[in-house]
Amino acid sequence: MRSKLYIAMPVLLLMALLTYPVLQIFYEAEENPYSVEIVETSTNSDKSICRWGLCRGKNGSIPEAAQDDTEILLSGGGLYLGDVNENKMYLTFDEGYENGYTEAILDTLKQENVKAIFFITGDYFDKNDAIIRRMLEEGHEVGNHTMRHYSLPELNYEKCENEILELDRLFYNKFGRHMRFLRPPKGEYNSQVLEIANSLNYKCIMWSFAYKDWLTDEQKGADYAFQSVTENFHNGAVLLLHAVSKDNADALASIIQEARRQGYEFGDPEDLA
């Protein structure tokens, strides 16, 4: 019996080592660049948390997400892809705080005639009035990344709703329009979050591509950003980029031009509404 165990243990260890990277890639969700402490957790019966993550496709194939998480997202009216039958992609930017690159991003988008969605937090709203006005004036969509960037499934119904509504009301009072796209912080959601989003006439937008671009002291250069994004192009792609990244700002024009060279076009956010 002991000899059989000695033989079995290395085999089991090898299987674990081979399996781990696959699982890690499949469930790799967006980490939290704007960490906050949650002080009140959900008292709703639905306490499950879906953490959005993807297994990247190859050679233009569509990325796959965990089946249960995808079903909850889609059945709740959310999306992470556009029309996969069209050579069309969508640019989205998360804006937790301003790091000096959004103006350059807007310059590139204007030059290339591309419209994007910018998901802002309450802190970003408070400090960047002129940039937000420019986003709107140049035809971009400003989406709701919540007031305080809390993990929404960790909040009770009322607090979750308020995280969305508080920012929406501030935005409406200043700019005369409501937001209509929601991106849950950290990619964390559940059926309650989607129910609240629907009740407020929001579309929950996740993503079909993201990479670790938000660490401002670990930027790897424009070439790295270009390669990371362009090797993951696919039909209907919803690309998530963080605007705090210098690499993204520097590479954006080349990324857009390469997409067009490959036969893709960039869709209007209206397509996702």
**What is the pLDDT averaged over residues 46-57?**
86
pLDDT digits (tens, 9 = 90+) for 105-148: 999 999 999 999 999 999 999 999 999 999 999 999 999 999 99
CATH of the domain at 187: 3.20.20.370
Determine the pLDDT at residue 204: 99
pLDDT-based confidence at residue 44 (cuts at 50, 70, 90): very low
**Structural domain that includes position 100:** 57-272
Compute the C-alpha angle 234/30/129, nearest 5°: 95
Determine the pLDDT at residue 246: 99
User: Which two structure tokens, joined as six digits, stand for 85?
Assistant: 């039958």
Residues in Cβ contact with 155 at an 8 Å cutoff, skipping those fewer than 6 apart: 38, 40, 41, 42, 163
Determine the pLDDT at residue 252: 99
pLDDT digits (tens, 9 = 90+) for 222-260: 999 999 999 999 999 999 999 999 999 999 999 999 999
Assess if residue 97 is contained within a domain: yes
Give me the chain's average pLDDT, please: 88
pLDDT-based confidence at residue 20 (cuts at 50, 70, 90): very low
Determine the pLDDT at residue 58: 82
User: What pTM, to 2 d.p., does this model score?
Assistant: 0.85
Count of structural domains within the chain: 1
Query: Alpha-carbon distance 180 to 266, whole Å?
Result: 20
Assess if residue 28 is contained within a domain: no
Assess if residue 197 is contained within a domain: yes
Assess if residue 240 is contained within a domain: yes
**What is the pLDDT averaged over residues 267-272?**
98
Burial (CB count within 10 angstroms: exposed 0-12, middle 13-18, buried 19+), residue 144: buried
pLDDT-based confidence at residue 7 (cuts at 50, 70, 90): very low
Assess if residue 6 is contained within a domain: no
Determine the pLDDT at residue 220: 98
Assess if residue 118 is contained within a domain: yes
Range list of β-strands (E), the chain: 50-51, 54-55, 64-65, 88-95, 116-120, 141-144, 181-182, 188-189, 203-204, 238-242, 265-266
Burial (CB count within 10 angstroms: exposed 0-12, middle 13-18, buried 19+), residue 117: buried
pLDDT digits (tens, 9 = 90+) for 54-84: 999 888 999 999 999 999 999 999 999 999 9
Assess if residue 38 is contained within a domain: no
Assess if residue 7 is contained within a domain: no
Whole-angstrom Cα Rg for the chain: 20
Catalytic residues: 94, 242
